[in-house]
Structure 1
Amino acid sequence: MTLGVVNTATEPLPRLAWRPVGLVAAIQIVVLTALSGRYGFHRDELYFVAAGKHLDWGYADQPPITPALAWLSTTLFGETPFGLRVVATLAAAATAITIAYVARELGGDRTVQWVSAAVAALGPFSLAVSHMLSTSTTDMLIWALLGLFVLRLLRTGDGRWWPAIGAVIGAGMANKWLILLLVFGLAAGVLVFGPRGVLRTWWLAAGAAVTLVLVAPIMVWQVANDFPMLTVASGISEDDGAENRISFVPLQLVYLTPVGAVVWIAGLVRLWRDPGLRWARALAVSYPVVCVVLLAVGGKPYYSVPLLLLLVPAGVRPVLTWLTTGLRRAALGVLAAVGVVMAVVTGLPVLPPPLLNGPVLAINREPGEQVGWPELTANVAQVWRQIPDGARAGSVILTSNYGQAGAIEHYGPRHELPKPYSGHMSYWDWGPPSDSMTGAVLVVGGQPAQSPHLAGCRVVAENDNGAGVDNEEQGTRITLCDRTTAPWSQIWPSLRRFY
């Protein structure tokens, strides 16, 4: 027994501290709900809403869970930022509670449990992905659940946890294939450091069968569509691989604030050194394994954040034990307060949009991508009205990315705009305009004047979001072309874009 914590492999666990942990989750829900309607949809959220109207077993760049959640949330609560983000808020609260359970599994007492939940909830990355619906929002919860179930298996040796583990892995594969990183890391840890006895049971086969059943329809879809997700992943690695490798280590130290980094590093060390947690050493092994894989393939640095959350509960007690003097407590308190303020300012929509330019967008560009979509649609509508009334029925709106298409699909009806088309990601799968559409083509973004498929193109307007926010769509050109040079069915294959 070390650091005043029980050897949880052999002794009863503490009770879950429902009141303080529930209070953390309740505050989280209140804050996220109060701010969920500010700014507007993120470009990815607009895409998820559109994808939810085309429910399928897969999409060009993702499995089906997040679009399905978008459909469910907007169906129940309305197709608004507030309505869409209800499921994101609930997932964030569930993640914090699950991290408290992980703390309990590692022998953490009442204080360790609620502090672990708070650290998990207050990191800049956690706040950013909790505010909006994204694949990472759900991924954090799934990784936390997998970590909890695996720790329960390793601590108790009860093979009956394998089907639950298999179900979580299957759900993870239905959301984002990154769950395989954690599976690989944990498997390496168990094989090298044990306890390997958990592998010698038929329950392992049962768990694998559960995963296969859940994943089968998703894999069938991917095979039938030539594995587009692998194409997207390879494009990310080629385009951003070098930048991702350079920024990987520094970003690991700020995703949960610097104080949060102290906690998860302390957790990593404790899992290696504490004899009472020898059974949980596989969790410590998984982090360097995952980091090596991400660095090798040029994956995005934030892919490892859910694993950092799992390390936090192991580090809370050593950090609290270190705070033996008033000076240490004051210094850490100041750093924690500064970190939380930075996390709130950069991760949540608390500032007026014009104040986002500068440090906020330099740290996190995602708030900027939640500004200006109604304005973009209105600007497109102004150009659309320049097409003669009699010619609009045969004309087409073509966008260069799914954010633009999603915005026009959502906000366009109030401006009497038709359905937009795009070759980006799954918008391409949803089909081209009819060959009978032989009129003008309004193009949002891109360089249509250089396209061999469009004729008589001229830039008519440049988008202005009205708030001066320097986001991806500020200054986007809106071009009007007289006609196409071939039927849409012939043009469409050349318009496909995976990134």
Structure 2
Amino acid sequence: MKSPLFAGLLVLFALRLLAGALLPLSADEAYYWLWARHLAAGYFDHPPAIAYLIAAGTSLFGQSEFGVRIGGILLSALTTALVWDTARVLTGDQKIANFAALAFNLSLMTTVEMLVATPDTPQMATAAAFFWTLAKLAETGNGRWWLAVGIAAGLGLLSKYSTLFLGAGALVWLIASPPMRRWLASPWPYAGGVLAFLIFTPNLLWNAQHGWATFAFQFGRIGAHQLSAKYIFEFIGAEALLATPFLLALGLLALTTTNRRDKGSALMASLFWPSVAYFFLHALHDRVQGNWPCYLIPILSVAAAKAFFQQNWTGWRAPVAKWSARLALPVAAVLVFIGYAQALLGVIPFGRKDPLARLLAVGLPDVVQKLDAVKSQNGASAIITSDYATTAWLSFYSPLPIIHVGEDYRWLQSQPARIIGPVLYVAEDRRDLHDRAVSCFGKAEQLPTIDRLRKGVAIAHYVVYRLDGGAGQPCGRMP
């Protein structure tokens, strides 16, 4: 790796560290932090990898934003190294490897998903490892690499179930690439599959003991809804932004000009297109969240790097490749800079519609301070919540006991709470479900609303109720 490239990657890594320490948590991050307080082999929404990653970070750095995120940030460095070496192995060109590493770190998807602590973070790392192990298999022809493939696959499944699409892609590669078909008659791929299954087994057992909760939640999204084209355009727009437009264009150029006898080209296309086909199918009837394809960014980065240095483009591809190559890195760098500036400083005055301020707990410490004063004035012993976002944020930022009602399935590891004396019910106004909590009490009195502010502008309004009359009966859970 040349020193200017290394310096650039170091700057981007330092920015990730800085943002990880300074930015307040998103609601999802705080939610996964709650998981880390009750480690298990599974949870309602996802497999457990992110909980263990957060637990490792907070064991070293305490209950802090940095502690929650440091595990994923360190994984971003490992993932960068895997992307770099995969490009080197598949192309034999260090310049392509250098570009792939830089492209990976300049995509908005990596900037976001390798900073915030969500299941996407370990999934991106394990997807890069899966890609790298298959590249090493193609390079060496040594069947033992299938065991490494199995380990990466198993860890990927403990991160997110969409890793299954990478497994499907590997099978496509074995069938569609003539040089790789010999492995179908070898025991090594099947040994790798068994190893992946064994690693994934704890989550299977957890689900079997909990009514297959995670499987029902995740695979329930596949159900058909009314056909609509609007989600297709939304999906394309989101991915163009998150992958960054010209890096995406370069990657797609390489991935749509595949030589089946070129192991590297066939491998990238085989891993990439099954996932994309599913996401387009899903987008025909429902929204595809922008982060879902994040695990494809390592593949896309290597493909974009290969296209960047390819000179023999013809027809309409030639001008697309020319302008995409010129604009890819500068535009990506500008988008990353704007993203950090908006998240850290709020340079664009969106007001209440500021997407990053609403996503992150901007202004929440002031809300907690005001709630503490209201709690003292009303003699409240705890705070009742009824949505997971408010529950997670207040659990992380407030010293007050938090009790959640209405979604017990999210807190299978915690015990029912018994409430005595008056309590406060708190929720964002658009999620006001205080009726869920009133059943445990005799009366409810609405108190003044508390605003969450950024630069003096309200970005969220929190309703507050004083609930009284509880007799110590079980009501909700303490996450």
TM-score grouping bracket, smaller chain normalisation: 0.7 to 0.9
Mark the CA change 1:360 to 1:315 in structure 2 (over 3 Å): closer, same or farther.
Answer: farther
Would you say the 8 A contact 1:459–1:480 is kept in 2?
yes
Q: Which amino acid aligns with 1:153?
A: L
Q: Which amino acid aligns with 1:340?
A: A
Counterparts of residues 141-220 of structure 1 (less than 5 Å): 141-194=125-178, 195-220=180-205
Distance 2:51 2:341 in 1: 22
For the 8 Å contact 1:41–1:81, the answer to whether it is kept is yes
Distance change >3 Å, CA 87–CA 244, structure 1 → 2? farther
Unaligned runs of 5+ in 2: none
Question: How many percent identity over aligned positions?
Answer: 20
Tell me if the contact between 1:127 and 1:344 (Cα under 8 Å) persists in the aligned partners. no
Q: Tell me if structure 1 keeps the 8 A contact 2:248–2:300.
A: no
Which residue of the other structure, out of 459, 462, 472, is the alignment partner of 2:446? 459
Of 352, 366, 369 in structure 1, the residue corresponding to residue 360 of structure 2 is 369
Per-residue Cα deviation, 1:274-298 (whole angstroms, up to 9, x for no partner):
85x2464143133222122223344
Query: Are residue 226 (structure 1) and residue 219 (structure 2) matched?
Result: no
Q: CA deviation at 1:183?
A: 1.0
Do the aligned residues in 2 keep the contact of 1:112 with 1:317 (CA within 8 Å)? Answer: yes
Give the total of aligned pairs: 462
Rounded Cα–Cα distance in structure 2 between residues aligned with 1:359 and 1:154:
52
Matched with 2:401 is: 418
In the alignment, the residues of structure 2 paired with residue 237 and residue 396 of structure 1 have an alpha-carbon distance, to the nearest angstrom, of 39
Cα 1:344–1:191, aligned 2, differ >3 Å: closer, same or farther? same
- Per the alignment, do residues 317 and 331 of structure 1 end up closer, same or farther by CA in structure 2, a change over 3 Å counting? closer
Q: Give the structure 2 partner of residue 339 of structure 1.
A: 332
TM-score, normalization by structure 2: 0.85
1:439 and 2:432 are equivalent in the alignment: no
CA distance in 2, matches of 1:483, 1:159: 68
Which string of whole-angstrom CA distances, capped at 9 and with x for unpartnered residues, describes residues 51-106 of structure 1? 21111111111222111111111111232112322222211122221111111121
Deviates more, 1:87-96 or 1:230-239: 230-239
Once the 2 structures are TM-superposed, how far is the Cα of residue 428 of structure 1 from its aligned partner? 5.5
Q: For 1:40 and 1:463, how far apart are their aligned partners in 2?
A: 19
Paired position in structure 1 for 2:307: 318
Find the counterpart in structure 2 of residue 252 from structure 1.
Answer: 239
2:155 is paired with a residue whose SS is helix
Question: In the alignment, what sits opposite 1:76?
Answer: 60
Name the structure 2 match of 1:4.
Answer: none
The 3-state SS of whatever aligns with 2:161 is coil
What pairs up with 1:76-155 in 2 under 5 angstroms? Answer: 76-155=60-139
Paired residue type of 2:57: S
Q: Which moved more, 1:242-251 or 1:128-137?
A: 242-251
**Distance (whole Å) between structure 2 residues aligned to residue 223 and residue 348 of structure 1:** 45
Structure 2 residue identity aligned to 1:385:
S
Question: How big is each residue's C-alpha offset from its partner over 1:125-178, in whole Å with a ceiling of 9 and x where there is no partner?
Answer: 111122222211221111111011112223433211111111111111111112
Would the alpha carbon gap of residues 412 and 253 (structure 1) be closer, same or farther in structure 2, given more than 3 Å must change?
A: closer
- Separation in structure 2 between the aligned mates of residue 98 and residue 333 of structure 1, nearest angstrom: 25
State the shift of 1:261 in Å: 1.0
Return the offset for 1:317.
3.6
Extract structure 1 runs of 4+ deviating beyond 6 A. Answer: 238-243, 327-331
For 2:62 and 2:192, locate their aligned partners in 1 and report how far apart those are by CA, in whole Å. 37
Equivalent in 356, 378, 391 of residue 387 of structure 1: 378
Q: Residue by residue, what CA displacement relative to the aligned partner does 1:151-209 show, whole Å, maximum 9, x if unpaired?
A: 22234332111111111111111111121111112212322334221222222232122
TM-score (normalizing by structure 1): 0.82
CA distance 1:93–1:184, change in 2 (3 Å): same
Report which of the two has the higher share of strand: 2
Whether the aligned pair in 1 keeps the contact of 2:170 and 2:267 (CA below 8 Å) is yes
Q: Does 1:475 align with 2:466?
A: no
Distance 2:105 2:56 in 1: 24
SS in 2 for 1:433: strand
Moved more, 397-406 or 227-236: 227-236
Change beyond 3 A, Cα 1:42–1:147:
same
The 3 A distance-change label for structure 1 pair 176 and 386 is same
Whole-angstrom CA distance in 2 between matches of 1:246 and 1:238: 20
- Partner residue in 2 for 1:12: none
Cα distance change of structure 1 residues 193 and 338 upon mapping to structure 2, 3 Å threshold: closer
Distance 1:264 1:453, change over 3 A: same
Q: State the Cα deviation string for residues 381-402 of structure 1 (Å, max 9, x = none).
A: 23322323xxx4xx44221233
1:328-371 Cα deviation digits (max 9, x unpaired): 97885456423321233225665424746279945xx4774231
3-state SS of 2:461 partner: coil
Structure 2 SS opposite 1:464: strand
Structure 1: stretches of 5+ with no match in the other structure: 1-16
Q: Is the 8 A contact 1:377 1:412 kept in 2?
A: yes
Give the secondary-structure state (helix, strand or coil) at the position aligned to 1:159: coil
- Partners of 1:358 and 1:383 lie apart in 2 by 26
**Corresponding residue of 2:36:** 52
Q: Structure 1 residue 407 and structure 2 residue 389: aligned?
A: no
CA distance in 2 between counterparts of 1:208 and 1:93 reads: 27
CA spacing shift, 1:351–1:225, aligned 2, 3 Å = same
SS at match of 1:85: helix
